[in-house]
Amino acid sequence: MSAKNRLINKISTWIIVLWSLVIAIVMAMHIYQNYNYAKSLAINEARVSVQKDLAFRSWGASHGGVYVPITKRTPPNPYLSHIKNRDVTTNDGQHLTLMNPAYTLSQMMKDYTKLYGIKGHITSLTLLNPKNRPDSWERRGLKKAEKSGKPVIEEVHINGKGYIRYLNPMVTKKSCLKCHAFQGYKAGDIRGGVSVSIPLERYYSSAFYHSLLDIFTLLVLYLIGLFAILYGKKKTIKTVEEKIKDYEQNIYALVNLIEKRDSYTAGHTRRVAKYSTLIAKEMGFDKDALDDLYQASMLHDIGKISTPDAVLLKPGGLNDLEYDIIKEHVVVGYELLKDIDIYRDIAQIIRYHHERYDGKGYPYGLKGDRIPMLSQVMTVADAFDAMTTDRVYKSKKSVSQALKEIERFSGAQFNPKVAKAALKALRDIEVDSNISQIPTTKREQERFAYFFKDIITDTYNQDYLTFMLMQIETNRYDYSYIYGLFLHNFTQYNQKNGWAEGDKLLAKVAKEIKNIYAEDIVLFRMYGDDFILLSREKFDMQVAIDALTSFLDNVDISVTAQCYNIKEKSIKTLIDVKDIFSC
């Protein structure tokens, strides 16, 4: 996964979290409001109920009480026996009794409870009627009301069920003293209160139902929003991936261009990517870091696009100037990638992969922990691959030998932690034995010709002969015979005809030798006017001598030849060639 995709995933995750949080908060607010509104309705009902009762009481009090017929439901109030005219008989013989406002209200509350389930109660701390005795809550409420003169409202639980309890204080008026003056009250005193208990169940049931509707609506809205977020994420990732794909096509096109310039680099980048990933896994890096490291390893040599062929493809050792040029590929690679969003992180890894733990690396000479850890992983992987593959002037090491080298330079060239992980991660690696910088194809031979061809005769030079003898010694090439063709009196020809004519004649002689042996030999120019041939089979050199003698018939130049078996004579170096031919 690219850094850009990780960022999109992270942002979309936070958006989903925020969206979920918003919906949860809105849902909680709706549920709270529904239950709060239900509670408000219950409180309003309590207020209305009490105000109705008090209005009825006020009406009764303003008329000094009400006379009603004496019946089983309305017997004389024993607590009004001190009033002389409590009971009267009308002219038509009807017996009536005085019902004071409290007694009338008490009767009405009893009927109201039966009809509607709303429990009302007249109560007082100074009782006239024991039935009006306050319960514990009413006692507390009456004490609060006496101090504040205001109604008392609370939500309470009775037998596990919720109620709104409301108590409104009763203020003594002059009309009330008719019945209550003997208790010591005077106008304006809080004589008691009217309380009511409103069950919350039906209100909360309604709130629950409305909350379910709100939750369903909000869940639908949440799912729509979630779909929009995920769809937007998918579209964004697709757009980014298309952009990444375009970038990768361009970048890997450059990599392919480098690989076509140097066939060794093609396998090298993939092997370094593989080794780096194995080491990083051993060190416990997460998948995102492994992905970054793999990409960085694949692109770590991209800066070589700016390296001249004369330096990049040189099969031998580099001089100081050439080494300075090759070192520039690190900075060039970083500059190529750093301004591309999707490659910004891996550009940093590439930037430091040639630094050394001891500070002797390049391009910045960073030391120790100042070098990014993933860069240090790539450093070890890069070195391991270099040691375990054949180069033109250096034979490869075995895996165990390479790991010993890594262990040896732990703390100097390599980070000790990375080196330790590499010893575990790479110990069972099987390196392809066919990996080599040695030319095998015609194109690779031509690449070598760039460095080893003699510009006058189009044959190979002495450096290439040295190289070939090394490969024969290590059994990479199977040439068995070495021939010497020597032109005599060529110096006199040059003195007589000039060096330019001498060069032309040498080129013709080389061409003639190639014509004689076709592609069965490798031809080298030696010491100005002599030629060395390598072949797999043994030839009759007299054929070449006769052909060249005939070719040089018009000039005073003679030809001689010698032939030796390379293995039998143990010919390994250019010095051996000189000795064997007495050049």
Q: Are residues 94 and 159 in the same domain?
A: yes
In Å, how far from its chain's centre is CA 263?
Answer: 34
Q: Which amino acid is at 472?
A: I
71 and 179 inside one domain: yes
Q: What is the DSSP string of 242-283?
A: HHHHHHHHHHHHHHHHHHHH-HHHHHHHHHHHHHHHHHHHHH
Asked whether residue 397 carries a pLDDT value surpassing 80, the answer given is yes
- Reading phi first (left if > 0) and then psi (alpha if -120 to 50, else beta), residue 192 is in left
Task: Looking at the structure, tell me whether residues 467 and 409 fall in a common domain.
Answer: no
User: Whole-model pTM?
Assistant: 0.56
| Residues 91 and 50 grouped into a single domain | yes
**In the prediction, which pLDDT does 264 show?**
59
Examine the domain organization and report whether 404 and 461 are in the same domain.
Answer: no
**Each residue's pLDDT tens digit, 403-447:** 999 999 999 999 999 999 999 999 999 887 766 666 666 666 666
Q: List the helix and strand counts (H, then E) for the chain.
A: 19, 11
Residue 467, pLDDT score: 82
User: What's the CATH number where 136 sits?
Assistant: 3.30.450
320 secondary structure, DSSP code = H
Structural contact between residues 279 and 271, judged by C-beta atoms closer than 8 angstroms: no
Quote the crossing angle between the two packed helices 373-387 and 399-408, to the nearest 10°: 140
Do the Cβ atoms of 265 and 259 come closer than 8 Å? yes
pLDDT at res. 224: 93
- Whether residues 162 and 43 share a domain: the answer is yes
**304/406 same-domain check:** yes
In this structure, the answer to whether residues 319 and 201 fall within a common structural domain is: no
**Structural domain includes residue 215:** no
Domain boundary among 410, 425, 440: 425
* CATH number reported for the structural domain that contains residue 506 in this entry: 3.30.70.270
In a domain, 276, yes or no: yes
Average pLDDT estimate for 199-203: 88
Q: What average pLDDT does the segment 504-532 reach?
A: 88
**Short-list 124, 225, 229, 233, CA closest to 179:** 124
Residues 391 and 468 in one domain: no
In which domain, by residue range, is 384 found? Answer: 262-425
Domain contains 493: yes
Q: Which residue has the higher pLDDT, 21 or 79?
A: 21
Confidence category of residue 531, pLDDT binned at 50, 70, 90? very high
* Strand pairing category for 190-199 and 152-158: unpaired
Residue 305 sits in a domain whose CATH number is 1.10.3210.10
Instruction: Please check whether residue 217 lies inside any domain of the structure.
Output: no
The answer on 298 and 192 residing in a single domain is no
Stretch 218-238: mean pLDDT: 89
Question: Is the N-terminal amide bond of 363 cis, ω within 30° of 0?
Answer: yes
Tell me which of 31-45, 228-242, 306-320, 430-444 is least confident.
Answer: 430-444
**pLDDT at 457 > cutoff 80:** yes
Q: Per-residue pLDDT for 118 more than 80?
A: no
Look at residue 1 in the predicted model and tell me its pLDDT: 53
pLDDT at 279: 96
| 401 and 458 share one domain | no
Q: Categorize the per-residue pLDDT at 239 as very low, low, confident or very high, splitting at 50, 70 and 90.
A: confident
Question: How many structural domains is the chain composed of?
Answer: 3
